Each structure stands twice: as C-alpha cells, then as structure tokens.
Amino acid sequence: MASDDELIPVLSYARISSDTEKDEHGVEDQHKLNRSTAQRHGCKVVAEITDNDVSAAKADVTRDGFETMLRALRAGRLPDGQVVRGVVVVADDRLVRRAGDYERFVDALTYDDGRVYADAKGPKNLYSEDVEAMGLFGVVISKIEVRKIQRRLRDNHRSRAERGVPVGGTRPFGWNADKKTLNEAEAPYLRQAIRDFARGKSLTAICAEWRDAGVKTTLGNDWTLRSLKLTLWNPRSCGWRRYRGEILRDEEGNPIVGQWETVVSPGEWEAVDALFRARQGRAVGTGQEIGEVLPENFSQARHLLTGLLRCGRSHDGELCGTALRVSRHKDVKSHLYVCPSKAAGGCGGLGRRGDLVDEYVTEAVLAKLEERQARAASVEPWDGEDRIKRLIGKRSTLTDRWEEDEISDDVYFPRVKKIETQLKELRAEKARWEARAARAEATGGDVRERWSTMHLSQKRALLFEALHAVIVSPSGKGRKPFNPDLLKPVWKED
C-alpha cells in the first residue's frame, strides 16, 4: 500500500445532467466512484468539483466547476495552492458537453507532463496520438447532438447571437472601425491569404509576403505566425461567429450570419478550418503551443487515416466505435489499422491492412469530390428565391389587412407564423445549397491530379473535410481477402 504522499493528487469531477432521464447517478455516487477509481490507480482525490446543469440551463450555461477545473489543471494547483496532477471522471459522459469542451480539457490536462486522467475504463493516456481521434469523435458527437446544444444556446445567447451584432475588442483586420464594412486596403490581403492557405501555401510564406508588403496588424504591429493564424482561422471572414470554440447556430443548425460584410464564402473558410483542425490534434500530442512552431512541423502525421477509421465491431448490440490505431505485424509488409486492446479502451478484435484501406478510402473521397464538382457545375442556381419573395409579399399583404382590421388576431397570427416557418425552411435550404456549391468550388477542379503532389497534411485536411469517419466492419475469423464493402464511409453533408 502506497503511503499517502506517494499518491498522485487528482480532482474528482461530477455533473448533474439536465437530461433527467439519464440521471440515475447522483453527484454523490459519481464522486464516490471517482474516489475508489482514484485509489485503485494510485491517486487520491484532493478536491471534488461539481457542476449542476439543471439550474445552469436557465441562468447561465457556463459550467463554473468545469472552468475551475481547467484553470487548476493549467496552473497545476488549486486556488489554495494544493497541487493537482490529474482528474478522475467515472461518468465520463458528464465531462464533455460539446466538442470544444473536450479539446479544451485535453489542452489543459496535457499542459504539463505526467498528468493522469481516468474514467470508468481506467487511466487513459491523453498525450497519445489517439487524442486527436477522440477530439474529432467529439465533433461527430456534437453534430449528432446539435439540437441539444442549440437548445442551450437559445437559453442564453440567442438574442445577442441572432442579431449577429459585432462584439467588442480591437478592430478586426479586414474591416473598418465600424466592424461592419470592409477595409478596402486590408480585405484583399485577407481574402487572398485564406484562399492561398486552403490551397497549400504555408503560414510562413504568407506572413513573409505581408511583411514585405508592409501590411501591419490593426494595432500597427508586424504580423507573426500566431497572429496570422488567428486571423485566418476566424470565422468572421465568412460572416460567422465562434463562441467558446463553436460556430454559433440557430435552431435549424444553420450558422448565424453576422451583420458585417464578408471576405470569403463559408466554404472557403471551412477549408481553412479543416486544415487547422487536422494540424491541431498533433499539436496536443507533443504538448506544444500551436502557432509558436512552424506549421511544417505539424504536418508529420505518419498515416493517412489516423483518426478517421472507427471499429465497426458490435458487442452486445453496441458498436465498439473506437478509433483504430496504427500497428505492425511481422508477416505483413504494410502498416495495419487495428482496434486498441480492451485495456486501451477498444475491443482489440479488429484489424485491416493499412495500404489497402488507404487506397480504397482515397479513391472513394476523390470520386466523391469529383462528383460534387460535377454536380455543382451542372446544377442550376437555387430556384427558391421566387418562393421567398412570394412569401414575403404574402406576409406584408396579411399585415396590411390586419392593420386595417380586416382580419382578426386569431386569423393573422397563426398565418404569419406559418409563413415564417416556411421562410425559415427556405432560407436554410438556400444556405445549404450555397455551402455545397462553395465547397465544391473550394476543392478546385484538378483534385485528382494534385493529390499525388499534395502533402500528407493537405490530403488529410481534404479527407477530414469530406468524411466524419469510416466505419470498418469485421470480416470474420481468420485472414480474409480485403473486402471494400466492409468499409463504410460516413460522409459529411452531401
């Protein structure tokens, strides 16, 4: 038995969920489980942190406990000076409420070396490259749970967000002091840089160009890689806003469009976003601050599909879903993608030859991108504009008649509500159509040709932009010939 001061001091985190149907675990239960898990793994709980989403849903969605935990992890100590070296969260579905949370948590935990994280399955190594995969999985989850998230957003930020009002701070590069109209001198630089970056130009090269051209930040400073990166990655360029790591969306899941002029289309900005995201995961792996290192150093993912492949084996009717890892076998020349062992959080029961999977998925994505381009080129412009105009006309006629007392409240309000619902749907349809067209455009016409000359990080950025995941189904016992039917791509919106 280890003496008390040999035990690693950790936090115990618990959350009361607002999903009452799921709340079979009380907070006390969660902390109790955390304490015993900590003990089993040579840790001791030095502080219990609890969040209550039930009340938070009404007043403020900030999870104070979660934020306190992140601060303590980054500092390595609690406000009272007590050292903290990790976290135990047995009910780990309580830890992450949305995609951004997971990344921030991993970021804070891995801020220093040798930190411990344990959930119901035991300790997990958050420094490993799998973190990237888990983080991305979080993004998939957030899409599935997008409605839930929106409900919370609505509670809190809706009015401000829906107005799309620019918020405080320094003047953003590319816009005038009103933060709405484009700055004619700066905006073209920003636009060109976003497009260049999406097509593979390095931050270093763009930064050098701007310096040579005498372009300064809005505070009059020279551009650095870090400031340039923050500027290119800011969704403001396409009219969107990020709040706590996520794009603000309305109830339909469409990004809320701000009241300022835009520099590029959403599709163009999303290409940049995908590229930064693909790099970001590796930055967590090495524990380095993103942006302080040349981007080239982030381009060293060793395998094409790390983070994209998911185990499709079922156990008791539940999909394993674990991110596959790269492994080797003495009898196989190629690398292998395998489900990690049970101890490492997977089922350990699935593996596939890497070269064949790489080739098949590449071909599938290239075909999909070409198909999208072809479709975008052949598709007529969106034809709903007339319907929108008609509905708006109808609404104003109704309003006129209502104001003239020709129709009663009982007639007017239900009808207007119906029209507004239709309008909302049409506008959402329009936004989807535009995003699709922009995406196809952003990919460029010769993607297959360029593929062979692309850097691995650029290929990965394209793959991650096209796919949520690829589910790899089991092929049965023993070694079988490669069967592409057992690979199921999960495409991001068609």
* Minimum CB–partner distance for residue 92 and Zn ion (Å): 18
| Stretch in the footprint of Zn ion (CB under 5 A) among 85-93, 178-186, 229-237, 315-323 | 315-323
Q: Cβ closer to Zn ion: 33 or 347?
A: 347
Q: Cβ closer to Zn ion: 38 or 472?
A: 472
| Site size toward Zn ion, by CB under 5 A | 7
Q: Cβ closer to Zn ion: 319 or 376?
A: 319
Element at 11 (helix H, strand E)? strand 8-16
Q: Which 143-202 positions form the footprint of Zn ion (CB under 5 A)?
A: none
The answer to whether the beta carbons of residues 200 and 270 sit under 8 Å apart is no
Task: Name the amino acid, one letter, at 11.
Answer: L
* Minimum CB–partner distance for residue 171 and Zn ion (Å): 50
Q: Tell me how crowded residue 325 is: count the other CB atoms within 10 A of its CB.
A: 21
The answer to whether the beta carbons of residues 337 and 325 sit under 8 Å apart is yes
The answer to whether the beta carbons of residues 199 and 294 sit under 8 Å apart is no
* Minimum CB–partner distance for residue 130 and Zn ion (Å): 13
Q: Which of 94, 313, 459, 460 binds Zn ion (CB under 5 A)?
A: 313
Quick check: 472 binds Zn ion (CB under 5 A)?
A: no
Quick check: 339 binds Zn ion (CB under 5 A)?
A: yes
Quick check: 320 binds Zn ion (CB under 5 A)?
A: yes
Kindly report the backbone phi and psi dihedral angles of residue 331, in degrees, each rounded to the nearest multiple of 5, phi listed first.
-90, -5
Task: Name the amino acid, one letter, at 194.
Answer: I
Quick check: 346 binds Zn ion (CB under 5 A)?
A: yes
Q: Cβ closer to Zn ion: 146 or 344?
A: 344
* Minimum CB–partner distance for residue 352 and Zn ion (Å): 12
The answer to whether the beta carbons of residues 94 and 49 sit under 8 Å apart is no
Q: Which of 88, 161, 203, 347 binds Zn ion (CB under 5 A)?
A: 347
CA–CA dist 135, 245 (Å, integer): 13
Q: Cβ closer to Zn ion: 310 or 436?
A: 310
Task: Report DSSP state, residue 81.
Answer: S
* Minimum CB–partner distance for residue 365 and Zn ion (Å): 23
The answer to whether the beta carbons of residues 370 and 448 sit under 8 Å apart is yes
* Minimum CB–partner distance for residue 339 and Zn ion (Å): 3
Q: Which of 95, 190, 274, 311 binds Zn ion (CB under 5 A)?
A: 311
Give the alpha-carbon dihedral of 354, 358, 360, 365, to 10 degrees. Answer: 150
CA–CA dist 317, 466 (Å, integer): 28
Among the listed residues 221, 222, 225, 233, the one whose alpha carbon sits nearest the alpha carbon of residue 203: 225
The answer to whether the beta carbons of residues 429 and 384 sit under 8 Å apart is yes
* Minimum CB–partner distance for residue 320 and Zn ion (Å): 3
| Stretch in the footprint of Zn ion (CB under 5 A) among 275-283, 305-313, 324-332, 473-481 | 305-313
* Minimum CB–partner distance for residue 338 and Zn ion (Å): 9
Kindly report the backbone phi and psi dihedral angles of residue 472, in degrees, each rounded to the nearest multiple of 5, phi listed first.
-100, 115
The binding site for Zn ion (CB under 5 A) comprises: 311, 313, 320, 322, 339, 346-347
